[in-house]
């Protein structure tokens, strides 16, 4: 298993370019199962989860050809048309469940492994299944598999999600766009990645309309036309680099990213003292000399502060001048970075879903363990502002979602090395 060796402290300086969004690419790749014609997807990030989704598409009978170092993939229908998504592929990446909607739309049946446990929370799929069953689908769960059949094909319906879910919104959009009739979906997630999915499907001829802030109307169409589509860039990667620049009074230009997508995050970083200038697709960020603490920050659905940046912002607050509180409202077990940050000397106490952080300037390098994608990147950030050497174990978590992170960090002044065994 690969490790990172990081010598700190370092200060960030220079320019970084943001890669394609993992969480936008995953549902769009699942959507390619809806097409009879070829689809070309550009700006794919070169990360492990994308390989897993591409392998899943192959196992479902799709043919895939690549260009530009696998950043462009053309996906076409193969001879066989499989509707079985095995545990071996879905267990490593929960987004595998997103093939359920498109498989049902195309084949009237699907057998998809239930994703199983996850380190950041229970993450059930009940909301996906309840909504999909409203489109005329009979669902049975047997031996860890979701067995779904739509005898008469999918039929449009009116659905209101009991809770906002990114994945369930995506799965339902994917199912509804080829269904018979009209589907109205209320209380949808409105994350930018969902908008990227609806933009992609609309470009291919799907009839999807936002008729309210969180309400979608989808009129089923018979087929989708072949298209080439470029995935949006990764807002969590952009946010991570913004935080990195603030840690030690850094100075960073973030290229290839539309700042308005992360308005909430930019305003928050201004509050802690960062100086930020933006253009249409760049962010120039100068970190503060002294980081100001935040009385209270809570994670929430977009456009609120994202849970996927909670661990990174916590690292910043470990250096602030005073006490800050972060409340995690999306996942019930997303403080796994806390014990590791404490090993570096961070002063953090957890009370239920709140972390109380007391700022300190005394972080010292140590050996650390990654637990999930965003926790791992937080450890990398913490290690490069700590004095001395840190070793971060199990960086495969990071490889799931950050493209060449050590190369990007090296270029902007972080002393980081991958140790492969
Ligand atoms: C997506 O996960 C992202 N994953 C996550 O990114 C992100 O943290 C999350 O949305 C929240 O923004 C992808 O886009 C591939 P949810 P998803 O359904 O869709 C509960 C990362 O680091 N829930 O919006 O799985 C659930 O347990 C990650 O890149 C149910 O109870 O998230 C959670 O508490 C990890 N039943 C809440 O809803 C359901 O059927 C929100 O989850 C579905 C969800």
Same domain, 87 and 213: yes
Contact indicator for 140, 352 with CB cutoff of 8 Å: no
Contact indicator for 78, 62 with CB cutoff of 8 Å: yes
Residues whose CB is less than 8 angstroms from the CB of residue 405 and which lie 6 or more positions away in sequence, other chains included: 377, 380, 398
> Looking at residue 365, which CATH number applies to its domain?
3.65.10.10
Q: CB of 123 closer than 6 A to ligand 1?
A: yes
Q: Which is it for strands 109-113 and 145-149: parallel, antiparallel or unpaired?
A: antiparallel
How many separate domains does the chain show? 2
Q: Probe ligand 1: pick from 94, 128, 167, max atoms within 8 Å of CB?
A: 167
How would you label 219-229 residue by residue, b for 16+ Cβ within 10 Å and e otherwise?
Answer: ebbeebeebeb
Q: CB of 41 closer than 6 A to ligand 1?
A: no
Ligand 1 midpoint to CA 125 (Å): 10
Same domain, 267 and 415: yes
Q: How far apart are CA 80 and CA 86, in angstroms?
A: 16
Same domain, 168 and 244: no
Q: CB of 126 closer than 6 A to ligand 1?
A: yes
Same domain, 159 and 40: yes
Q: What is the DSSP string of 263-298?
A: HHHHHHHHHTT-EEEE-SSEEEEE--SSPPP-S-EE
Query: pLDDT per position in the chain (421 positions), as tens?
Result: 999 999 999 999 999 999 999 999 999 999 999 999 999 999 999 999 999 999 999 999 999 999 999 999 999 998 888 999 999 999 889 999 999 999 999 999 999 999 876 788 888 999 999 999 999 999 999 999 999 999 999 999 999 999 999 999 999 999 999 999 999 999 999 999 999 999 999 999 999 999 999 999 999 999 999 999 999 999 999 999 999 999 999 999 999 999 999 999 999 999 999 999 999 999 999 999 999 999 999 999 999 999 999 999 999 999 999 999 999 999 999 999 999 999 999 999 999 999 999 999 999 999 999 999 999 999 999 999 999 999 999 999 999 999 989 999 999 999 999 999 7
Same domain, 217 and 337: no
Same domain, 200 and 261: no
Q: CB of 188 closer than 6 A to ligand 1?
A: no
User: How many beta carbons lie within 10 A of that of residue 230, not counting itself?
Assistant: 15
Q: What is the pLDDT of residue 120?
A: 86
> Which of 192, 215, 230 lies at the terminal end of a domain, its last residue?
230
Same domain, 201 and 255: no
Q: Would you tell me the crossing angle of helices 100-107 and 126-133 to the nearest 10 degrees?
A: 20
- Angle in degrees, CA 243, 249, 253, rounded to 5: 60
Q: How far apart are CA 174 and CA 98, in angstroms?
A: 8
Same domain, 124 and 90: yes
Long-range contacts of the stretch 117-120 (C-beta < 8 A, 24+):
118/94, 119/333, 119/336, 119/371, 119/372, 120/331, 120/333, 120/334, 120/336, 120/372
Ligand 1 midpoint to CA 321 (Å): 33
Q: Which is it for strands 388-393 and 367-369: parallel, antiparallel or unpaired?
A: parallel
Ligand 1 midpoint to CA 165 (Å): 6
Q: What is the pLDDT of residue 121?
A: 81
Same domain, 412 and 353: yes
Q: Report the nearest-CA residue for atom 14 of ligand 1.
A: 23
Q: How far apart are CA 299 and CA 375, in angstroms?
A: 15
Same domain, 211 and 237: no
Q: How far apart are CA 284 and CA 147, in angstroms?
A: 50
Q: How far apart are CA 368 and CA 185, in angstroms?
A: 43
> Which of 196, 230, 264 lies at the terminal end of a domain, its last residue?
230
Q: CB of 125 closer than 6 A to ligand 1?
A: yes
> Which of 168, 197, 230 lies at the terminal end of a domain, its last residue?
230
How would you label 47-71 residue by residue, b for 16+ Cβ within 10 Å and e otherwise?
Answer: bbbbebbbbbbeebebebeeeeeeb
Same domain, 322 and 401: yes
Ligand 1 midpoint to CA 207 (Å): 26
Same domain, 112 and 247: no
Range of the domain at 351: 3-19+233-419
Q: CB of 95 closer than 6 A to ligand 1?
A: yes
Cross-sheet strand order for the sheet of 354-358: 297-298, 323-327, 354-358, 347-351
Q: How far is CA 115 from CA 9, 99, 124, 145, 374, in A?
A: 39, 12, 8, 9, 19
With H, G, I as helix, E, B as strand and everything else as coil, classify residue 140: strand
**Is 246 part of the annotated catalytic residue set?**
no
How would you label 370-386 residue by residue, b for 16+ Cβ within 10 Å and e otherwise?
Answer: bbbbbbbbbbbbbbbbb
Please tell me the pTM assigned to this model: 0.98
For 291: left if phi > 0, alpha if psi spans -120 to 50, otherwise beta; the answer is beta
């Amino acid at each position: 298993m690969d490790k990172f060796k990081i010598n700190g402290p370092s200060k960030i300086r220079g320019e970084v370019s943001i890669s394609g969004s993992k969480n936008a690419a995953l549902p769009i790749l699942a959507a390619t199962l809806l097409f009879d014609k070829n689809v070309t997807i550009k700006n794919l990030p070169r990360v492990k989860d994308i390989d897993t989704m591409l392998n899943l598409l192959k196992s479902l009978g799709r043919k895939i050809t690549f260009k530009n170092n696998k950043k462009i993939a053309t996906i076409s229908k193969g001879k066989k048309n499989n509707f079985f998504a095995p545990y071996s592929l879905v267990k490593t990446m929960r987004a595998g469940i997103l093939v359920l909607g498109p498989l049902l739309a195309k084949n009237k049946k699907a057998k998809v492994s239930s994703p199983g446990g996850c380190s950041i929370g229970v993450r059930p799929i009940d909301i996906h299944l309840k909504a999909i069953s409203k489109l005329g689908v009979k669902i049975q769960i047997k031996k860890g598999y979701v067995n779904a059949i739509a005898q008469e094909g999918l039929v449009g319906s009116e659905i209101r999600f009991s809770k906002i879910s990114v994945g369930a919104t995506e799965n339902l959009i994917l199912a509804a766009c080829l269904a018979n009739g009209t589907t109205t979906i209320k209380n949808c997630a409105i994350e930018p990645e969902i908008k990227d999915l609806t933009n992609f499907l609309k470009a291919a001829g799907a009839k999807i309309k936002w008729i309210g802030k969180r309400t979608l109307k989808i009129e089923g169409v018979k087929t989708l036309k072949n298209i080439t589509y470029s995935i949006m860039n990764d807002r969590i990667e952009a946010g991570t680099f913004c935080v990195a620049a603030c840690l030690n009074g850094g100075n960073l230009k973030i290229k290839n990213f539309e700042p308005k997508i992360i308005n909430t995050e930019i305003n928050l970083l201004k509050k802690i003292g960062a100086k930020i200038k933006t253009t249409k697709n760049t962010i120039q960020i100068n970190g503060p000399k002294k980081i100001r603490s935040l009385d209270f920050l809570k994670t929430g659905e977009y456009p609120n502060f994202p849970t996927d940046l909670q661990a990174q912002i916590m690292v910043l607050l470990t250096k602030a001048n005073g006490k800050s509180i972060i409340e995690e409202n999306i996942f019930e077990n997303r403080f796994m970075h806390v014990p590791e940050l404490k090993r570096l000397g961070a002063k953090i106490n957890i009370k239920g879903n709140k972390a109380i952080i007391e700022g300190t300037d005394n972080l010292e390098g140590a050996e650390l363990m990654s637990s999930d994608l965003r926790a791992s990147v937080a450890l990398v950030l913490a290690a490069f502002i700590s004095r001395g050497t840190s070793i971060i174990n199990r960086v495969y978590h990071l490889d799931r979602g950050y493209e060449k992170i050590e190369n990007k960090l090296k270029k902007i002044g972080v002393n980081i090395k991958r140790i492969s065994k």
